[in-house]
Amino acid sequence: MDYFNYKSSKLFAEDVSIDSIAQQVGTPCYIYSKATMLEHLRKIQAAYAELDTTVCYSIKACGNTNILKILAQAGSGFDVVSGGELFRAAEAGADMKKIVYAGVGKTDVEIIAALKAGIGYFNIESEEELENIIRLAKQQNIKTKAALRVNPDVDPKTHKYITTGKKESKFGVDIERAQKVFADFADNGFVELCAIHLHLGSGGKTIDPYCEAIKKTLPLIETLRKQGHKIEMLDLGGGYGADYETGYAPSAADYAAGIVPLLKGKDLKLILEPGKSIIANAGIMLTKVLYRKQSGQKKFAIVDAGMNDLIRPCLYQAFHFIWPVSVEEKFSHIKRTEKLDINGLEFIDVVGPICEGSDFFAQDRAMPPVKGGDYLAIFTAGAYGFTMASNYNARPLAAEVLVDGGEFSVIRKRQSLEDMVALER
């Protein structure tokens, strides 16, 4: 669930009118609900309470340091994939022992920074990477822990760009190769290889692939332990679904109902790396209709946000529910889905101003009639929205706003044209 709801036909974030944010902050902008992100985090923490579990929020989903600070204060650790994300976590006051560091291309500078920060685990993606981390750990005289990322060859049946658990993936090593990696590197003296990391990809809609991956991996852990290797932790990665449509994804409790029984009594700590399941529904992108247009039979609403602000629809063919901020009462209690059949709706493309045919947010979408000057809310935009934004077409980055109860604050100022060129001078 989330805390974006209509009251008297006007959209609110918690107790703040979206109209009032639009008037004071302008558009496009991202608006986040503190109550929503905390509720989703706490539901995950509660669902896995039977196990020794650390939730490590995935910074790549949405990395504003003000949001990271809120999650850290609520007990979250962090999943990082770059030196920049490690820096963001430190800026937010994160517990470094609750940080896991993934990514296939860690540089020496990034690895040394993570070693000096005292992170919890490196997630190892290849033998050469492990050799390099061992070399740098010896050079710095710092001991650390690591989890080997294993591909269980499980397909979560999601978009090919965000499927990472297949054998042929660039990520991790295949499950058959894992034993050799442990045999070759476990006794190096500086990097304690003591955990297994799984990550199937993003966009999971069912719990079955996660359960299948665990069932494939537990025999490996048992074999490694029999060979004398200490395996203390299983990192199940992220990718857990979020409700882009109402009822689209399993809840945290649903996932846990399948996963927890498989791991009870296995003497394993558990790490989870959720990103969008915490932040996706906690954010919307607010945009304004600039013009209406008709070409043949096709209708367009041209808005002031573009694919540089939210690239998911054109990159992943992702669905985002879009609805006016102000609507007639009969349209204010709509189930968020792509398939609406209600009297009074029109079919329209919602497109941006960028010079690309792929610059769209919705095509042939059923919506209440809108006109120039109306505000639209693009829902479930908290994950991989602002964090993937760019300056394409020399467009300034949008503002970010945080709502907390009846108050809101700008947590990232809108980028100015001067800001855009400052580093070029």
The CA-atom distances, in angstroms, between 277 and each of 2, 38, 149 are 11, 11, 22
d(CA 217, CA 197): 10
Check if the beta carbon of residue 147 is closer than 8 Å to that of residue 272: no
Q: How far apart are CA 415 and CA 352, in angstroms?
A: 19
Cα 254-256-262 angle, rounded to 5 deg: 125
Please give the structure tokens belonging to residue 353: 């101003």
Q: What is the CA radius of gyration of the chain?
A: 23
Single-letter code of the amino acid located at 41: L
For 180, residues 6+ apart whose C-beta sits below 8 A from its C-beta are: none
Catalytic residue check, 355: yes
> Which of 111, 112, 34, 28 minimizes the C-alpha distance to 68?
34
Q: Is the dihedral of CA 350, 338, 245, 329 positive or negative?
A: positive
**Active site (catalytic) residues:** 355
